[in-house]
Structure 1
């Protein structure tokens, strides 16, 4: 097997990355230009991996090196690594693991791909890296990475709403009475006072970037904000779906979701504070717009991501366990 480790801030992502992504129907979060945009704004060095077997792409990897010092300085050289740390193997934007295989690749070959990637990454990062931390691993992928004596660390679960309704009326009817009345009211009032986005393929990238950054700061996150370029390169990309509310042309709230034809997967969100000209409960209505889309387009379910699990369960979501697995060199 041949493994290529890529620093997208100084190296072009190979053309067969995008060919593989489209052939395998991967969500647009794996788009090469989008990952490159994330790498350029990240406070941690990003590395991508592509594994080929007989010249054919067998798997893709994404992640970032975390360690000491914990973050890059503003003027750090592109690609510079911390003194020591771990490679966090995860999807850079989203709530899924940082590796995907060719659908037809059998399990023994998948294990061989992981071993080849680990070996190549160890050679590339050298003393700067203590090992790989596989993040956001689901039960079906756990046997591939949690072999031998590697520990398993339970992390915050993902949330999934499984589609079992013919329409929104049936969805609301399934909710407890008090919750049903409140969510119906929120859904109706949001449509009256705003221009609603419900599955749009593009959005104003500058407004989206600013709103996403403001939301991170509101919740005390120190993560680097996404640049406007991230939203720009996704514009018009197959499977990109925006849900949001606008006051004329001013963006008040939005969710970025990816539709792979089977599930809707939510990722980046942004919402104005009421005191900044926003409106109450638009965040809840985003969920309802996504549920409406899921039902109307016959998707199996909608992933609502990590965090606020109790709140999302009120909308009918179930918890999907996820695990972190450290693999020390």
Structure 2
């Protein structure tokens, strides 16, 4: 076994990368051009560590270096960014899936190999300056592996997803909801059906203007300033590269009188579990429409059923609301640990 440690800011796409993405089931945010742009627009340097058996990739871990020079208002620098720090092990484009993959991983989702193979290898590469690691999106089935001396394990927000295989259409889904939510959603859909001012459609990302979409997505980012580290805005260059990926879709809402996009979601299509990556909409006072967010969930369900998917992943945030819409909540954990 050997490892490649790649910095997508500087390194060319490895010859095995597309094969690795296909085997690991990695979505469009793992395309090399997307990773390159994401890495230059990040606050911290990223390391992509690939475990190889000869020329065959057997594992992948993404980790952001958080060092003494990391600041919430500072972009990544050319070097590592401080002699001492830790690795934040997470996916580079979304928070719904782990930032690692191992061939043939069992119930622990590869966490044992993450601790026994990846972290020692990175300590050997980065030296004694690597003091700690934070591992996100750890499943409940891996808790027995990750618990240990001086390790802090905390449950984080669950991942919500709506299974759709038992539904023949959106009406079946509505009938499965609690009575109050069903009545509310029925009114939402009826209101949209009667409103000729608003149209919605799901199109490939390549059909969408990245500048227009970035401006709309920033509306939602400005609203959410209640987190310790405020998310960076959607950069047009990154978004344009992401939209060009064949698995990216956009659910867009437009005002037919002005042609203006008033709401949009980006989606990663997948043969089984598509992911709703981001959502944003204009406020009502700025030309938006009431209940657009709820209609968005109904459109996701309708589309997933029509496309024959197992369901749709809704990500984190507002788990109680999503549960009322029929979502199952998958527990996940974060583990902070020293690296020695």
Q: Same fold (TM over 0.5)?
A: yes
Aligned-pair RMSD on alpha carbons? 2.6
In structure 2, what is the equivalent of residue 225 of structure 1? 233
SS of equivalent residue, structure 2 residue 134? strand
The CA deviation string for residues 247-301 of structure 1, in whole angstroms up to 9 with x for no partner, is 2542211111212201121112222122222222111111111111111122212
Report the count of equivalent residues.
Answer: 327
Residue matched to 1:240: 248
Shift of residue 170, structure 1, vs aligned partner: 0.9
| Distance of 1:322 and 1:113 partners within structure 2 | 16
Hey, what does 1:215 align to over in structure 2?
Answer: 220
Aligned position for 2:169: 167
Q: Spell out, residue by residue over 1:77-114, the C-alpha distance to the aligned partner (whole angstroms, 9 max, x if none).
A: 33442453321111122221110123x46789954565
Q: For 1:217 and 1:299, how far apart are their aligned partners in 2?
A: 33
User: 1:130 and 2:131 equivalent?
Assistant: yes
Is residue 261 of structure 2 the alignment partner of residue 259 of structure 1? no
Are residue 14 (structure 1) and residue 14 (structure 2) matched? yes
Q: CA separation of 1:137/1:105 partners in 2, compared to 1, >3 Å: closer, same or farther? A: closer
Distance 2:35 2:28 in 1: 10
Residue 318 of structure 2 corresponds to: 308
1:28-39 counterparts in 2 under 5 A? 28-39=28-39
Quick check: 2:220–2:281 contact (8 Å CA) kept in 1?
Answer: yes
Alpha-carbon shift at residue 4 of structure 1 (Å): 1.6
Q: Secondary structure at the match of 2:315?
A: coil
Contact 1:52–1:58 under 8 Å retained in 2:
yes
Q: TM-score, normalization: structure 2?
A: 0.86
Q: Which residue number in structure 2 is paired with residue 98 of structure 1? A: 99
Deviations 1:21-49 (A, max 9, x none): 12443222222222222211112222212
Instruction: Provide the residue aligned with 1:181 in structure 2.
Output: 183
1:297 aligns to 2:303 (yes or no)? no
- Give me the whole-angstrom Cα distance separating, in 1, the residues matched to 2:108 and 2:169: 42
Describe the shift of the 1:198–1:173 C-alpha distance in structure 2 as closer, same or farther (beyond 3 A): same
Name the CA distance, whole Å, in 2 between partners of 1:309 and 1:75: 31
The whole-number CA distance in structure 1 between the counterparts of 2:198 and 2:168 is 26
Deviation at 1:316, TM superposition (A): 0.9
CA distance in 1, matches of 2:202, 2:331: 29
Change (3 A) 1:73 1:108: closer
Tell me if the contact between 1:136 and 1:323 (Cα under 8 Å) persists in the aligned partners.
Answer: yes
Secondary structure at the aligned position of 2:274 is classed as strand
| Distance in 1 (alpha carbons) for counterparts of 2:109 and 2:32 | 24
Q: Please say if residues 4 and 50 of structure 2, whose CA atoms lie closer than 8 Å, have aligned partners that are also in contact.
A: yes
Contact 2:108–2:142, Cα closer than 8 Å, also in 1 = no
